[in-house]
Structure 1
Amino acid sequence: MSRAVVLIHGFGTSARLWDQVLPLLQGQVLTLDLPGFGDSPDERYSVDGMADAVQERLAGLQDFVLVGHSMGGKVAAVLAARRPVGLSGLLLIAPSPLSPEPMTAHGRQALKAAYGQPDLLAEHYRQITRQPLSENTLAQLVSDGVRASQAAWNAWPDSGSREDRASEAGRIEVPVSLLTSQDDPVISPGVVAQHLLSTYSGAALTRLTGSGHLLPLELPAAVARFIEQGASTGFPAGHR
């Protein structure tokens, strides 16, 4: 894997989402905390604000791929639509769609109610996964949920997930690859068919089974293979 890989985590988590994937990757890998999550004090909680924060971290990278999970997938796609210099590919793992994510009002309220509540957070992560999580992994997820900014936490269900950015997909010039799970209760096969494949025309799709929504934690080896393959098949440096 010669080009750099930029890993963008999803809602409620942090750069630690990739801890089990990182040892399996070769070459230069950049992880970061999105505004309001992990150790980031940044207060740019909109989709564009998060994309701005990522773009600022790309300085000096001449050939790279963006990898986004869940909420980070929408952020990565919006950034890819800006056609940043050096971008060679877009790899999306169980991504939130560019169109409004189909969440029920009850689901949005339940997500907001879980903020800062360890028991509710633990139950949430058990519900959206299909592989058993170790005690340490679950504790890490809960810790990230507790330390997140409440404003950032609420911004996603209230606004970010509702934004319709589907028209921007046509501006993405690099190859797009999707990794999903047939057993994901969040980005379900129906969401994939109706909101992802219809938006990312011509994207390569890899479907897994046996994982819920947190693929980097549930099936890290499969995620690493997906990233390695995608990083090696993007556009060559200087293509544009």
Structure 2
Amino acid sequence: MSLYEISPDTSINVVASGKKVSTRPTLIFLHFWGGSSRTFTNTITYLSPHFHCIAVDFPGWGSSIGPQKSEAYSIAQLAIDIETLIPKLDVEDFVLVGHSMGGKVSQHIAGRNQLSGLKAVVLLGPAPPTPFSLPPDMKQQQISAYSSHESAEFVVRNVLSSAQISDEMVSALVEDMLKGTELATKAWPAYAMAEDIATVARKITVPVLVIGGELDKVEPIQRLEEKVLANINGAEMVLIKGSGHLLPVEAPEQVASHIEAFVQKVTG
């Protein structure tokens, strides 16, 4: 693990695996709301023998430090944080792999096109670039979803996953959810999911692969088709049968296989 200072009040933790290969891009992983760099541990196990992999903790999650400002956890700000981080990582060509909220951040980064080394994007059950607002009662339920061990475990087992995952993995997911700071935890349901970045997403020019879970209750296939694919020119999608929203946890080998095949195809 390594901690990189992005600003006086923001330091981002990253976990690197595998060796740099001059002919292959580095894979940079951005996690879901409630996750951390270790959300991708099992997926990276399959990829690190062939790729240099870097998993990131967003500010306020995992071992990263975020500011004490309620507006500092927007999609736009998280994208700027990652754009500031990547030049510090000593990587050249890279591919963003974003899951859920991390997928929305990845779309924003790719559409802004501030980083010359970005070669492609892989979106795992991504939040769409269009705004999504919950009714007030549901918003409050989501804000408090990670308020206790019991509520977080319920979300993992009954909302986020559809395939069987081990008790050990459930415990790790719950631990990450409970570790999030109050401001980072509230940001996604309070305002970040409602951010409209569709105009930015339509400016994406690098190849994009969307990986959807057949049984995803959070970002169902129809929404991926209507809100993600429809806003990203040339994006393609593959489905993983039997998986819910936690694709890198529920189907790590299949996710890794799709990532490797796609990266080989678009980078030669």
Q: Quote the residue 1:120 is aligned against.
A: 151
Q: CA shift at 1:123, angstroms? A: 0.2
Q: Distance in 2 between matches of 1:105 and 1:65?
A: 37
Q: CA shift at 1:190, angstroms? A: 2.2
Q: CA shift at 1:102, angstroms? A: 5.7
Tell me, yes or no, if structure 1 residue 228 matches structure 2 residue 260.
Answer: yes
What pairs up with 1:1-240 in 2 under 5 angstroms? Answer: 2-25=24-47, 26-43=50-67, 44-59=72-87, 60-83=90-113, 84-101=115-132, 103-127=134-158, 128-235=160-267
What is the identity, as a one-letter code, of the residue corresponding to 2:34?
A: G
Q: What is the CA deviation profile of residues 168-213 of structure 1, one whole-angstrom value per residue up to 9, with x for unaligned ones?
A: 1222110111000121001112211221121123211101210110
SS at match of 1:58: helix
What is the identity, as a one-letter code, of the residue corresponding to 1:215?
A: L
Q: Is the 8 A contact 1:6 1:64 kept in 2?
A: yes
Q: Distance in 2 between matches of 1:170 and 1:70?
A: 18
Q: Is the 8 A contact 1:116 1:147 kept in 2?
A: no
Give the unaligned 5+ runs of structure 1.
none
What is the identity, as a one-letter code, of the residue corresponding to 1:229?
A: A
Q: Is the 8 A contact 1:89 1:230 kept in 2?
A: no
- Sequence identity, in percent? 31
Q: Distance in 2 between matches of 1:225 and 1:173?
A: 23
What is the identity, as a one-letter code, of the residue corresponding to 1:31?
A: A
SS at match of 1:11: coil
What is the identity, as a one-letter code, of the residue corresponding to 2:104?
A: K
Please identify, of 208-217 and 125-134, the stretch whose mean Cα deviation from structure 2 is larger.
125-134
Please identify, of 96-105 and 67-76, the stretch whose mean Cα deviation from structure 2 is larger.
96-105
Structure number with greater CO (CA < 8 Å, separation at least 6) is 1
SS at match of 1:21: helix
Aligned residues: 236
Q: Is the 8 A contact 2:126 2:224 kept in 1?
A: no
What is the identity, as a one-letter code, of the residue corresponding to 1:205?
A: M
**TM-score normalised to structure 2 length:** 0.84
SS at match of 1:234: helix
What is the identity, as a one-letter code, of the residue corresponding to 2:139?
A: R
Q: Distance in 2 between matches of 1:150 and 1:204?
A: 36
Q: Is the 8 A contact 1:98 1:166 kept in 2?
A: yes
Q: Distance in 2 between matches of 1:214 and 1:103?
A: 21
SS at match of 1:20: helix
What is the identity, as a one-letter code, of the residue corresponding to 2:99?
A: H
Q: What is the CA deviation profile of residues 61-92 of structure 1, one whole-angstrom value per residue up to 9, with x for unaligned ones?
A: 21111110000000011011121111100110
Q: CA shift at 1:101, angstroms? A: 2.9
Q: Distance in 2 between matches of 1:228 and 1:235?
A: 11
